[in-house]
Structure 1
């Protein structure tokens, strides 16, 4: 029997997942929480085989809990189940040695299969994450161009962006032109949309 713990801040989803997993003969949910602090406390006591953690939770995020589990050297394996396919979250999860990283819009069978797979020592990542990582690695923008785009995303005028980055207004306009050219777009909104879609922002 594989023992499971669920940490998900949406109570309805938490309950639905519990019921779904309990239908499997070899899976048993031993506890759940809707915030990271309670999850961490109970995981130390229960020490289940697998902890299924959401990322965005009150108190502590699922990644905070994963970090603590890794540093405490508990045997519990972690599967992150989230709506976020962002590179920075994924990279942090990898550093915390999570055994799985799945997206909430994946079929429920994928989660069940992943639970069994991580118990055999495998690591399971959602295919979308690999695509996003490749897109991020192909980022054509320089660090300075990204910095300009981050400021532009705030809706700031060129002069303010220039002041914030200690650039001249002319240099800032040149950076924006270079960004538009590299991304094949015509304005800031399009540039921001393309950068976000490729996980560059």
Structure 2
């Protein structure tokens, strides 16, 4: 058997599976002696996350992996949530960047990024496959519960949907990380200090 040494890492984080019993395959983060982080399976590699979600996850991983300080990481997340709820986060940070890999007419499902592309065409903006699309999810102004009905382009007026960005972007990008420390970050959303969070604040 031949074993190849890939690199030296001073600290690593292996995310649990949904059953909570073993480390998830290809879902881990490690930091080397040069402070470079190697990530596999986390949301930073997905195109449908806004910069705020990606940057929050990256900062939290660095606080845990580089400093070994999960309490500081949790306080950082708490601050981000409070800023988002008080709308101190700019619209630029919550823009979702995506692209279509084929012509619009070939898409049968109206997903948010397809809706955004159609909006560009309606504005007379030339659109081709792999053109960069930027949009955000606005607050509900209709009875529809569909996310696609709340898609707005960057130049369209509106307030971003706080619940969407908290529950579908920020929390999902970091909750698996904190589960390693038996912390349920969803409890931070309502601003209450639940029993299992008291020791952290």
Q: Shared fold (TM-score greater than 0.5)?
A: no
Q: Which has the higher contact order (CA 8 A, sep 6+)?
A: 2
TM-score by length of 1: 0.28
Tell me which protein shows more helix as a share of its residues.
1
TM-score by length of 2: 0.28
Larger Rg: 1
